[in-house]
Amino acid sequence: MRLKYQSRNGHVLAADTAKEIIDQLQARNRFEAETTYRQYVEGVAEREKIYTGHVLDTSSPEAFLESAVASGLLVPLQ
């Protein structure tokens, strides 16, 4: 199933897996493009908690995506 989301800053992301969506988010962030997957999601989760109070689940790509939607970081598109 093709996943499609819009980020808070308006970027449209489309991929077949949650990990690919996160990879696209990471690639768009010029400051974190060279970090590892784990460093990236933990950094996003830390900033999300500081700025919005929302806690992102970094235990798996699927959990991260689900919590990113719940926090408003990503919006699912049809």
pLDDT of residue 32: 81
Write down the pTM of the prediction: 0.89
Cα 36 from Cα 24, distance rounded (Å): 13
Give the tens place of pLDDT for each residue, 4-60: 999 999 999 999 999 999 999 999 888 887 899 999 999 999 999 999 999 999 999
pLDDT of residue 1: 67
Distances (CA, A) of 37 to 2, 33, 74, 77: 21, 9, 18, 24
Give the tens place of pLDDT for each residue, 58-71: 999 999 999 999 99
Give, in degrees to the nearest 5, the angle at Cα 62 between 8 and 58. Answer: 80
